[in-house]
């Protein structure tokens, strides 16, 4: 497949212009013009690029790219990362908020469906757009059950802050680092908020608002989108893909 054809399809499918994102979403580094094997990963990091080279990847899609709204000198680790991409002719494509928010292959929609939530609606406002999803369990579930499910899905031991009722029915999800969205969840009458990593200052907000929160790992809540997007590319274009796992434990 031609690289430019794939880039144009991704830009449109993910609706990149809709999101006020610091990430330079889209094609960040240009490589070979023909795409034969896609790699997907959470982070743009040297170990990931080394794995991409070993796996024969020529088009790499990441959630966290190399460029975040400011110029970077091509020195040190940044230089090394670019050298790895150039040496293999690897195209680097980044999709941050668009891949959190997408209703079909986004981190939050996929995780919500994996947990068994129904009646999904957009949730979790960021600069005027909603990047998460909320829904409900058909039958209320205990926090322990939900944490076990998350652990099985992510391989991560979850941190549970029980400040509200148990079991729960109405749940909001925003992957990654969205701890403060627990306030929005409380205001919307949800009983549980799920995100990736905790913040110390949010601890008291959770308990004093009578909310429950589960933290399932920043990295581990954001593997879902890139995998689902890769599967979509395989179904649509027949492209072979590989997931390049490099967990941070955070």
Annotated domain spans of the chain: 3-95, 101-218
Q: What is the CATH number of domain 3-95?
A: 3.40.1390.30
Beta bridge mates, 245: none
Topology match between the domains 3-95 and 101-218: yes
> What pLDDT does residue 155 have?
84
**Whole-number pLDDT of residue 186:** 98
pLDDT value for 156: 80
Whether the bond between 167 and the residue before it is cis, its omega within 30 degrees of 0, is: yes
110, HSE (Cβ side, Cα atoms, 13 Å): 23
The H-assigned helical ranges of the chain are 3-13, 46-55, 76-88, 97-101, 107-115, 143-154, 182-187, 203-208, 224-237
Q: pLDDT averaged over the chain?
A: 97
CATH fold of 101-218, please? 3.40.1390
Known binding residues are 63-64, 100, 218, 222
Averaged pLDDT, 76-90: 98
Distance between CA atoms of residues 132 and 190, nearest Å: 13
Residue 74: its pLDDT value, please? 96
Instruction: Specify the pLDDT at position 154.
Output: 87
Known binding-site residues for a divalent metal cation equal 63-64, 100, 218, 222
pLDDT at res. 107? 98
pLDDT digits (tens, 9 = 90+) for 119-177: 999 999 999 999 999 999 999 999 999 999 999 998 888 999 999 999 999 999 999 99
pLDDT of amino acid 101: 98
């Amino acid at each position: 497949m031609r690289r430019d054809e794939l880039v144009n399809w991704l830009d449109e499918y993910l609706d990149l212009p809709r999101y006020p994102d610091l990430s330079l979403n889209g094609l960040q580094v240009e490589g070979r013009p023909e795409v034969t094997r896609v790699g997907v990963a959470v982070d743009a990091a040297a170990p990931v690029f080394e794995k991409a080279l070993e796996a024969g990847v020529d088009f790499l899609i990441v959630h966290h790219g190399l460029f975040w709204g400011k110029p970077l000198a091509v020195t040190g680790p940044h230089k090394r990362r670019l050298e790895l991409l150039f040496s293999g002719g690897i195209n680097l494509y980044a999709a941050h908020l668009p891949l959190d928010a997408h209703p079909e292959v986004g981190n939050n929609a996929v995780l919500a469906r994996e947990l068994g939530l129904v009646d999904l609606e957009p949730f979790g406002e960021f600069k005027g757009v909603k990047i998460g999803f909320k829904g409900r369990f058909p039958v209320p579930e205990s926090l322990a059950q939900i944490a076990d499910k998350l652990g099985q899905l992510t391989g991560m031991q979850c941190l549970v802050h029980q400040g509200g009722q148990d079991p729960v029915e109405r749940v909001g999800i925003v992957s990654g680092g969205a701890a403060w969205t627990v306030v929005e969840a409380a205001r919307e009458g949800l009983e549980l908020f799920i995100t990736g990593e905790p913040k110390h200052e949010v601890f008291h907000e959770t308990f004093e608002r009578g909310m429950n929160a589960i933290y399932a790992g920043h990295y581990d809540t954001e593997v879902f989108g890139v995998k689902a997007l890769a599967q979509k590319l395989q179904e649509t274009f027949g492209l072979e893909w590989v997931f390049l796992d490099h967990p941070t434990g955070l």
